[in-house]
Amino acid sequence: MYEDLRDQVVLITGSSRGIGAAMAVAFAEVGARVVLHGRDEVALDGVRRRVERAGASALVVTGDVTRSAALAAMRDRINAEVGPVDVLITSAGSSKSRPTPIEEIDEEDWRADVERNLTSTFLTVKCFLPDMKSRGSGVVLTLSSAAGRRASARTLVAYGAAKAGVQIFTQDLAAQVGPAGIRANCIAPETILTETNEKWIQGDQRQMLIDMHPVRRLGTVDDVARAALFLASAESGWISGVVLDIAGGATLV
């Protein structure tokens, strides 16, 4: 399955752990040429070994995806060492904020969440898009979140706003680049049991979250990785501009 992804160059930003790492291994298992990205070189080396055990080789690049110059240097190295990117997955993004009344949100915290999630997505796509246009093909997958799909008094407001921005950015992108042979879609996971969440979501809290999902479990990184494979492949060749909720039925938009 997904034979069309064999030998495709797949760049996954933010792939040193969690969802990004799971996607890297999944693409390696179908024969793609994987480019790993992150800032933690030790963690990246661990993912690289997992990719190799899956039967593929991986190029590891580092760089700040909120800086155009760093992205351009990454692109030039990727082009020189493995070739131009066929599938771009913007998985880098995070938040260090906490649920806070809007009037108490620190301006720097707001700007940091927008930079890490929305600006990084924009700059990464902007950097790699011209090469895709020149070849007349390519796939872009962005990562949003259920936090950007529904309102809540307990949400991380800046993070949710940034992730909502990623969604409409992806749809605008899809509208622009479809005639150039490029598809763009967005994945919006709900609560996913990453390494960190496995540690922190335990006991009664885990059961409470499970009960919030019509499909009575929490998501796994492999749930997201399988969706990414489908959206990157020719199996979804007439799907573009979609926001796909990986949410066990909890996000009904």
pLDDT at 87 over 80: yes
Domain tally, the chain: 1
pLDDT tens-digit map of 148-184: 898 887 788 999 999 999 999 999 999 999 999 999 9
Over residues 65-75, the mean pLDDT reads 98
**Is 213 a domain residue?**
yes
In the prediction, which pLDDT does 252 show? Answer: 65
Contact 174, 240 (CB under 8 A): yes
pLDDT at 253 over 60: no
Over residues 65-82, the mean pLDDT reads 98
pLDDT at 191 over 70: yes
**Is 253 a domain residue?**
no
**Is 199 a domain residue?**
yes
Report the SS3 class of residue 89: strand
**Is 118 a domain residue?**
yes
In the prediction, which pLDDT does 152 show? Answer: 80
The whole domain housing 81 covers 3-246
pLDDT tens-digit map of 123-148: 999 999 999 999 999 999 999 998 88
**Is 252 a domain residue?**
no
**Is 40 a domain residue?**
yes
- Spot the catalytic one: 159, 186, 188, 229: 159
In the prediction, which pLDDT does 251 show? Answer: 78
pLDDT tens-digit map of 11-25: 999 999 999 999 999
For the question of whether the overall pTM of this predicted structure is more than 0.85, the answer is yes
> Which stretches within the chain are classed as H helix?
18-29, 41-53, 68-81, 107-114, 120-135, 157-177, 195-200, 203-211, 221-232
d(CA 218, CA 216): 7
CB atoms within 10 A of CB 119: 17
Which of the four pLDDT bands, split at 50, 70 and 90, describes residue 211? confident
**Is 251 a domain residue?**
no
In the prediction, which pLDDT does 199 show? Answer: 73
pLDDT at 193 over 80: no
CATH code assigned at 174: 3.40.50.720
2: annotated active-site residue: no
Contact 142, 120 (CB under 8 A): no
